[in-house]
Amino acid sequence: MVFPLVFPNCNAIQSAVRRFLRGARPGIAAATLLLALSVAAPGVVAQTVTPQVVAPHAAASLLQTLEDTKSRERLLEHLRVLAATSKNAAADAPKESLGARVADLLITRIQAVGADLQGAIAVLADAPKLWDWVRTQATDATARKRWLDVLLWLIPVLGAGFAAEWLSRALLARPRAAVEDRVTENAALRVTLLGVRSVLDLLPIAAFAAGAYGALPLTGAEGKVRLVVMILINANLLSRAILAAARMLLVPYVSSLRLLPLSDGTARYAYVWVRRFSNFAVYSFFALAAALQLGLAPAGHAGLAKAAGLVLATLAVIFILQNRRGVADWLRGDGKVQGAKNLAFRGLRNRFADVWQVLAILYVLVAFGIWALEIEGGFAFVLRATLLSAGILLTAWGLLATLHRLIDRSFRVSPALKAGTPGLEERANRYFSVLHSVARYAVVIVAAAALLESWGGGALAWMTSELGQRMIASLLTIGLVVFGSILLAELVTSFVERKLAQSESKTGSAKARAKTLLPLFRMTVIVIVTIVATMIVLSELGLDIAPLIAGAGVIGLAVGFGAQTLVKDIITGLFILLEDQIAVGDVVRIGNHAGLVEGLSIRTIRLRDLGGNVHTIPFSSVDTVLNMTKDFSYALFEIGVSYREDIDAITPVLEEIGAEMQAEAVFAEKILAPIEVLGLDRFDDSAVIIKARIKTEPLQQWGVGREFNRRMKRRFDELGIEIPFPHRTIYQGEATPVFKGLGRAPKAPPPAKPGRKGGGRGDEDGGDGGDY
């Protein structure tokens, strides 16, 4: 049946068609079958090995149906239904995925290789015929005579050729030795001497050719024997010409004429391998050609040729493995040279040095496989792909060197720009290596895609496909988003640092406000840009960010309930910063903590006290702020003097000390106003307190106060003004006699006053005593 092949997944359609064919007239059924084979499924018909044969009665029925108007209309109606159903089925069919296309491509290639392997197996199956040919050549009289004729005519021809060559070498020995013994450092003269030596090297080969071909007509050889002799002469000439060219290039035995930077051992090693390859390849294939003329079967010739090619491929693999370390070291280089060009090529060079032997062996095996399987156009394809690969690698290397040079030049910061933006050079150096890596990997990826396309990998077809275009567009979008985010963050950072540098020339609250708000603005912008860029990148990677945003909202709501203190910190800190209550560099007291404000975040204040201890205080715990350095400060003095001192006389002394300090350059910029003596403030236990103050710049009140106290102490000592302090006086007395009584009778107590009663213990006679 044809329909299951055409519509393998449409059972309902097949049933409808079968019912129609059973109920229709034979002519309509035949016409439907023929049109289905010829129109609906041309691919199936084209893939059929044997053509479909239509029975004569089916053709007659089709003709009758087409001639009848009603039958023809009915047939056309059913065909329209069939075509519409086919379109719907094709539309409903799932689109072929990338994996399916790759699988189809691999299956096609494997089938092609399988067909080639079948041909190779067929050639190997004919290998027994080779033994039959050898046995025939040994037993057949005609074949033996032909071989003897070849040997008889070959010996004198080669003898004449070698004799001519020997004579030529003898005549040219002295000039050749003179050229080889000449040592010079002049490059032009060395090239000339090398050319003369190469000519002297080729003349004996030409003499061999002249002697051999001159003797060939004299032998009288004819037919296939003559052709075989010529083939062997040409094999000798070609092999020796190849070796002469190798000697001219490598100069293995005369180092004074060698142009290539090779040692004697390397040059001789390379020449030995050239001789192995050339001798085996030339003599084996020419010998096979001669054997083919002497009656070797084509199948046997093909088998021996494949065997010879396999030996050459094996020799090439051995040569590659012997030199894998030396070539890898040469590719890596010494690694001491610096610069953009070397940096551009170093990474690729090191990676290629690690795998070059694998690539070379694969190349040899592929070339042998193309030749052995006789793939049509294979060598042309390999040659084209090889040239394209070399061009791609050279272009990639040049592009990398150019990009690295441009990056080096672009990140060079001028002295003026460095002075205006102090941290610009450090940030530029942070991205320097990153940009080098991005440029290197981008060029490597593009070069790899181009190499894959040059070798038939279908990279361009994948890039132009829907999936490839979508992936490339996503990657470009991600790259632009990341680049834009970094650029915006760096612009904001440069702006902030420039403003901070400009604020260094300012004084007072403007400088402190800049140091407080600008870093906070930079951090806020960077956080927002990072979040937005992350969302865009995740969206381009195919992740649905809607659940992430919803989840973030839910988490935010939960955090809002569970982290009210954190929210309070942020809100309180925001108002404190906006109202400029505190700035970096102020000295403040917050609760029991006091110190210099080192940093402000959106949530905390960081103080460092005089002992170097750091206090981190959340904004939510800030009730009151005592800012001791807002706009200006006062150095406050409470001066205690003795009660006996004249207060009116001490006031001019204090004003004089303040005027002296304000007149000095060291304190002139720190003191904003003359000393202000507020007068007698209070009475203490041992002193009267005079209060005074000096208006200073912020943070300068303590230094000014300490210097004023030092000078006041010295001046009071000079003037004899007493600064009282709590003290205790100790008296050390002399020894006195011990009290031993009055030495007389005590006086009688006075008489008691009348009207009083009582008796005391001192009333010895029991009479009344007085009150006490």
DSSP calls for 237-253: HHHHHHHHHHHHHH-TT
Top-ranked range on mean pLDDT: pick from 121-135, 214-228, 252-266, 733-747: 252-266
The answer to whether residues 283 and 235 touch, using CB atoms and an 8 Å cutoff, is yes
Crossing angle of the two packed helices 141-181 and 223-250, in degrees rounded to 10: 20
693/705 Cα distance (integer angstroms): 9
| DSSP per-residue codes, 566-593 | HHHHHHHHHHHHHTT---TT-EEEETTE
Residue 513 has a pLDDT of: 64
What mean pLDDT comes out for the span 744-766?
A: 47
pLDDT band at 10 (very low <50, low <70, confident <90, very high): very low
475/28 Cα distance (integer angstroms): 58
Q: Is the pLDDT of residue 225 over 60?
A: yes
381/313 Cα distance (integer angstroms): 19
- Lowest-confidence pick of 148-152, 217-221, 257-261, 710-714: 217-221
What 8-state DSSP symbol labels residue 375?
Answer: -
- Lowest-confidence pick of 75-84, 249-258, 319-328: 75-84
Q: At 54, phi and psi to the nearest 5?
A: -90, 130
Domains in the chain with CATH codes: 3-92 (no CATH), 129-271 (no CATH), 574-627 (2.30.30.60), 633-719 (3.30.70.100)
- Lowest-confidence pick of 308-312, 355-359, 662-666, 751-755: 751-755
The answer to whether residues 14 and 89 touch, using CB atoms and an 8 Å cutoff, is no
| DSSP per-residue codes, 68-91 | SHHHHHHHHHHHHHHHHHHHHHHH
Q: Is the pLDDT of residue 693 over 70?
A: yes
Joined together, the tokens standing for residue 208 give 């061999």
pLDDT band at 712 (very low <50, low <70, confident <90, very high): very high
List the end-to-end C-alpha distance of the chain, in Å, as a whole number.
153
Residue 7 has a pLDDT of: 37
Residue 638 has a pLDDT of: 92
What is the enclosing helix (H) or strand (E) of 326?
A: helix 324-332
What mean pLDDT comes out for the span 652-656?
A: 91
CB-side neighbour CA atoms (13 Å) of 525: 18
Per-residue exposure over 626-646, b if at least 16 CB sit within 10 Å of its own CB, e if not: ebebbeebbbebebbbeeebe
pLDDT band at 708 (very low <50, low <70, confident <90, very high): very high
Of residues 214 and 38, more confidence is placed in 214
Residue 587, beta-bridge partner list:
596
426/266 Cα distance (integer angstroms): 49
Residue 125 has a pLDDT of: 58
- Lowest-confidence pick of 16-25, 280-289, 360-369, 602-611: 16-25
488/315 Cα distance (integer angstroms): 60
422/469 Cα distance (integer angstroms): 43
Residue 36 has a pLDDT of: 38
Candidates 167, 286, 166; CA nearest to 230 is 286
Cα 487 from chain centre: 18
- Lowest-confidence pick of 293-307, 729-743, 751-765: 751-765
Assign 3-class secondary structure to 692-755: EEEEECCCCHHHHHHHHHHHHHHHHHHHCCCCCCCCCCCCCCCCCCCCCCCCCCCCCCCCCCCC
Q: Is the pLDDT of residue 725 over 60?
A: yes
Residue 217 has a pLDDT of: 76
Residue 760 has a pLDDT of: 39
- Lowest-confidence pick of 202-206, 283-287, 411-415: 411-415
What mean pLDDT comes out for the span 101-117?
A: 53
651/681 Cα distance (integer angstroms): 13
Candidates 406, 396, 388; CA nearest to 345 is 396
Per-residue exposure over 338-352, b if at least 16 CB sit within 10 Å of its own CB, e if not: eebbebbbbebbeee
Assign 3-class secondary structure to 180-232: HHCCCCCHHHHHHHHHHHHHHHHHHHHHHHHHHHHHHHHHCCCHHHHHHHHHH
Q: Is the pLDDT of residue 501 over 90?
A: no
Per-residue exposure over 717-750, b if at least 16 CB sit within 10 Å of its own CB, e if not: eeeebeebeeeeeeeeeeeeeeeeeeeeeeeeee
365/382 Cα distance (integer angstroms): 12
152/144 Cα distance (integer angstroms): 12
Q: Is the pLDDT of residue 647 over 70?
A: yes
Top-ranked range on mean pLDDT: pick from 26-30, 192-196, 538-542: 192-196
Q: At 581, phi and psi to the nearest 5?
A: -75, -35
pLDDT band at 757 (very low <50, low <70, confident <90, very high): very low
Q: Is the pLDDT of residue 361 over 70?
A: yes
Of residues 276 and 61, more confidence is placed in 276
The answer to whether residues 448 and 439 touch, using CB atoms and an 8 Å cutoff, is no
Q: Is the pLDDT of residue 152 over 80?
A: no
Q: Which percentage of the chain shows pLDDT scores above 90?
A: 9
What is the enclosing helix (H) or strand (E) of 617?
A: strand 614-618
- Lowest-confidence pick of 255-259, 283-287, 497-501, 716-720: 497-501
What is the enclosing helix (H) or strand (E) of 690?
A: strand 688-696
Joined together, the tokens standing for residue 209 give 């050719």
Q: At 374, phi and psi to the nearest 5?
A: 55, 50
What mean pLDDT comes out for the span 216-223?
A: 68
pLDDT band at 19 (very low <50, low <70, confident <90, very high): very low
Mean pLDDT across the chain: 74
Q: Which percentage of the chain shows pLDDT scores above 70?
A: 68
- Lowest-confidence pick of 312-321, 367-376, 723-732: 723-732
Give pTM, 2 decimals.
Answer: 0.46
Tokens 């925001």 sit on residue:
574
Per-residue exposure over 320-334, b if at least 16 CB sit within 10 Å of its own CB, e if not: beebbeeebeeeeee
What is the enclosing helix (H) or strand (E) of 390?
A: helix 378-410
Residue 563 has a pLDDT of: 62
Residue 419 has a pLDDT of: 64
Joined together, the tokens standing for residue 608 give 């460092």
Residue 679, beta-bridge partner list:
691
SS3 state at 639: strand
414/354 Cα distance (integer angstroms): 41
172/534 Cα distance (integer angstroms): 81
Residue 637 has a pLDDT of: 92
Residue 38 has a pLDDT of: 38
Of residues 582 and 63, more confidence is placed in 582
